[in-house]
Structure 1
Amino acid sequence: MTEKLLPQSFDFDGPFPRLSRRLRLGIVGGGRISATQAMAARMTDLWEISAGALSSDPEKAKARGADLFLDPERCYGSFEEMADSEAARSDGVDAVMITTPNNMHHPAALAFLEVGIDILCDKPLTNEIAEAEDLAARSAEAGVVFGVSYVMSCYPMIRQAREIVAAGTLGDINQIHVEFMQDWMIPDGVEAAPHVKWRVDPKISGPTSCTGDIGTHAAHLASFVSGLPLTHVRAEMHVCGAPKPLEDTVFMMTRYGDGVPGTLMATRLASGNRGGLRLRIFGSKGGLEWDMEDAERLRLNVFGDPDRVLSRGHGHGVSAATERFVRTGRGFPEGLIEAWANLYTEFAMAVAARRDGVAIPPDWIGLPQVGDGEGGVRFIHAAVASHNEGSIWVDV
Structure 2
Amino acid sequence: MSLSAEKRCLSLGFIGGSIDSAVGHTHQIASQMDGRWQLVAGCFSRNKSVNDKTAAEWGLSSERTYSTYKALIEKEQGKLDAIVVLTPTPSHTDIVIAALDAGYAVICEKTLSTSSQEALLIEESVKRNNGFLAVTLNYSGYPMMRELRRIIKAGDLGRVQQIQIEMPQEGFIRLDAEGNQTQPQAWRLRDNTVPTISLDLGIHLHHIIHYLTQERPVDVVADQASYGWFKDVVDSVTCMLRYTDDIRCQMWFSKTALGHRNGLKVRVFGDRGSAEWLQVQPEELLLSYINGKREIVDRASFVSEACLPRYNRFKAGHPAGFIEAFANIYCDMADCYFEYKNTGTYTSREVYGVSHAVEGLQLFEAIALSVKKRCWVSI
TM-score by length of structure 1 reads 0.88
Question: In the TM superposition, what is the alpha-carbon distance from 1:259 to its structure 2 partner?
Answer: 2.6
Structure 1 SS opposite 2:351 = coil
Instruction: Tell me how far apart the structure 1 counterparts of residues 172 and 286 of structure 2 sit (CA, whole Å).
Output: 30
**C-alpha distance 132-198 of structure 1, shift in aligned 2 (>3 A):** same
Q: Report whether the alignment pairs 1:201 with 2:190.
A: yes
Contact 1:52 1:82 in 2 (8 A): yes
Q: Report whether the alignment pairs 1:35 with 2:25.
A: yes
Contact 1:216 1:379 in 2 (8 A): no
1:353 aligned to 314, 317, 339, which one? 339
Q: Report whether the alignment pairs 1:325 with 2:304.
A: no
Instruction: Tell me how far apart the structure 2 counterparts of residues 325 and 232 of structure 1 sit (CA, whole Å).
Output: 36
Q: Report whether the alignment pairs 1:304 with 2:304.
A: no
* Structure 1 unaligned spans of 5+: 9-17
- 1:211 is aligned to 198
Question: In the TM superposition, what is the alpha-carbon distance from 1:357 to its structure 2 partner?
Answer: 3.4
Structure 1 SS opposite 2:23 = helix
- 1:15 is aligned to none
One-letter code aligned to 1:395: S
Question: In the TM superposition, what is the alpha-carbon distance from 1:137 to its structure 2 partner?
Answer: 2.6
- 1:107 is aligned to 94
1:133 aligned to 120, 131, 154, which one? 120
- 1:7 is aligned to 3
Contact 2:147 2:306 in 1 (8 A): no
Instruction: Tell me how far apart the structure 2 counterparts of residues 312 and 240 of structure 1 sit (CA, whole Å).
Output: 39
One-letter code aligned to 2:39: I
Contact 1:166 1:227 in 2 (8 A): no
One-letter code aligned to 2:12: L
2:323 aligned to 337, 343, 348, which one? 337
Question: In the TM superposition, what is the alpha-carbon distance from 1:77 to its structure 2 partner?
Answer: 1.6
Contact 2:216 2:243 in 1 (8 A): yes
One-letter code aligned to 1:141: R
Structure 1 SS opposite 2:264 = strand
How many percent identity over aligned positions?
A: 26
Question: In the TM superposition, what is the alpha-carbon distance from 1:62 to its structure 2 partner?
Answer: 2.5
Contact 2:174 2:182 in 1 (8 A): no
* Structure 2 unaligned spans of 5+: none
Question: In the TM superposition, what is the alpha-carbon distance from 1:305 to its structure 2 partner?
Answer: 4.9
One-letter code aligned to 2:363: F
- 1:276 is aligned to 263
Instruction: Tell me how far apart the structure 2 counterparts of residues 299 and 83 of structure 1 sit (CA, whole Å).
Output: 47
TM-score by length of structure 2 reads 0.92
Instruction: Tell me how far apart the structure 1 counterparts of residues 221 and 74 of structure 2 sit (CA, whole Å).
Output: 44
Deviations 1:130-178 (A, max 9, x none): 1101112321332232111111111111111111111111222111110
Deviations 1:54-88 (A, max 9, x none): 1224454233222221111111122121111111x
**C-alpha distance 326-370 of structure 1, shift in aligned 2 (>3 A):** farther
One-letter code aligned to 2:42: G
Structure 2 SS opposite 1:64 = helix
Instruction: Tell me how far apart the structure 1 counterparts of residues 246 and 7 of structure 2 sit (CA, whole Å).
Output: 47
Q: Report whether the alignment pairs 1:393 with 2:379.
A: no
Q: Report whether the alignment pairs 1:46 with 2:36.
A: yes
Structure 2 SS opposite 1:293 = coil
Question: In the TM superposition, what is the alpha-carbon distance from 1:244 to its structure 2 partner?
Answer: 2.7
**C-alpha distance 109-312 of structure 1, shift in aligned 2 (>3 A):** same
Number of aligned pairs? 373
Question: In the TM superposition, what is the alpha-carbon distance from 1:117 to its structure 2 partner?
Answer: 1.1
- 2:244 is aligned to 257
Contact 1:119 1:145 in 2 (8 A): yes
Instruction: Tell me how far apart the structure 2 counterparts of residues 268 and 344 of structure 1 sit (CA, whole Å).
Output: 28
What is the RMSD computed on CA atoms of the aligned residues? Answer: 2.2
Instruction: Tell me how far apart the structure 1 counterparts of residues 168 and 83 of structure 2 sit (CA, whole Å).
Output: 30
